[in-house]
Amino acid sequence: MAKQKRVFIVHAKRTPFSKFGGQLGGFSPVDLAVYATQALFSDISLNPELIDQVLFANVIPSTPDTLYAGRHLALKCGLKVSTPGAVINRLCGSGIQVILDATRLIKMGEASSVLVAGAETMSLAPHLVYGGRFGTKYGGLKTQDLLLDTLTDQYVQTPMGITAEQLATDFNISKLDSDHYAFLSHQKAAQAYDQGLIQPELAFIKKDKVHCEKDEHLRLDVSMDEIQKLKPTFKKDGCVTAGSASGIVDGAASMLIASEDFVMAQGLSPMAEIIDGHVVGVDPKIMGIGPVPAIEILLARQNKKLEEIDLFEINEAFAPQVMACQKALKIPDDKLNIWGGAIALGHPLGATGIKISLTLSRQLKHLKKEWGIASACIGGGQGIALLIKKV
């Protein structure tokens, strides 16, 4: 058999994540991804024409051009006209999915370098009108909020927040526990900002009156008392509040995935090696537990023990959701989301998987650690995980 190709995360950048209705709310997902991609190419001085394919992660096509996102990103960033592009949607796992898909393309010999990007402009999520095309016999037109519907699993008629509440019950997580986790997420992110650890990820956006240079959802001055005062959102006596749920934000992330031969030929210094990944289905009513079996199967396939993994980035969809995963896997506090997570920084659906993989790669290098896993739960009942190794 031919020797398996090694595949690397070469470099990545992301825009700041702006709050719902914030500074980036008027940009299309494609244009946000352009900013991140241009910053990526600038950092490593790479000719865009060397890229073989583009994969774009997006969940809510909030503007018409988002349907063409992979192709338009290629054209707007100076890639060859012959470079194909695709849009991938595995809901909250989309960002990790495009990384896995790019890795497979390279291992199969169909590409040497793949640009993967993810973006979401949740502020522009449209309201859909049904019945207007052919008219209605009686009554008014039906209007639906695509953002609300995206965050609700239609199969089980359950908002994502209720699935987190079920995990809180199953794992005996109190509102106080949940609030404390949320407070720590902000605290860790604020500390990382203070130490200049997050800023190198960012591609600043300055256009007209927009000057976005930091994550807008992060509260540097938030107190535990403020978080505790927030009322449950989904269940009368529940845990999940606006303070312990991931932030609804706008943003994009872009990453270059490449083969060892490409890296050597271009004289590039990769951030991390992609070792393996796995996706699995779970009960939709507890969709947030998805990272647990995804990580367990991934580790078993690689003959590794959880204790051998130095750092974990598990997307913080909701505090009790990520806490349940931590409890089930027995992950130490000092290995999980050490620079804060989506509760503090926000969760732009299609961009998140790339963002946490970027952050994890940088954490491994900064702390001189070797192994890391990025993972996310996925609406509809799935989990996805990515295993990487510091170069």
Give 63's pLDDT tier (boundaries 50, 70, 90).
very high
Predicted local distance difference test score (pLDDT) of residue 5: 87
pTM score above 0.95: yes
Token couple for 347? 């969760």
Residue 187 three-state SS: helix
Pick from 346, 389, 352: nearest CA to 117:
352
Predicted local distance difference test score (pLDDT) of residue 3: 58
What is d(CA 217, CA 20) in angstroms, rounded to the nearest whole number?
8
Token couple for 309? 């993994």
Predicted local distance difference test score (pLDDT) of residue 80: 98
| pLDDT digits 0-9 by tens, 334-349 | 999 999 999 999 999 9
**CATH architecture for residues 273-390:** 3-Layer(aba) Sandwich (3.40)
| pLDDT digits 0-9 by tens, 349-374 | 999 999 999 999 999 999 999 999 99
Q: Are 189 and 197 in contact (CB under 8 A)?
A: no
| pLDDT digits 0-9 by tens, 302-329 | 999 999 999 999 999 999 999 999 999 9
What is d(CA 73, CA 59) in angstroms, rounded to the nearest whole number?
16
| pLDDT digits 0-9 by tens, 71-126 | 999 999 999 999 999 999 999 999 999 999 999 999 999 999 999 999 999 999 99
- Per-chain mean pLDDT for the chain: 96
What's the start-to-end Cα distance of the chain, in Å?
25
Catalogue the active-site residues.
92, 377
What is d(CA 289, CA 281) in angstroms, rounded to the nearest whole number?
10
Rg over CA atoms, the chain: 20
| pLDDT digits 0-9 by tens, 132-143 | 888 888 888 999
What is d(CA 120, CA 147) in angstroms, rounded to the nearest whole number?
11
Token couple for 253? 């992330």
Predicted local distance difference test score (pLDDT) of residue 138: 85
| pLDDT digits 0-9 by tens, 269-314 | 999 999 999 999 999 999 999 999 999 999 999 999 999 999 999 9
What is d(CA 90, CA 106) in angstroms, rounded to the nearest whole number?
20
pLDDT at 221 over 90: no
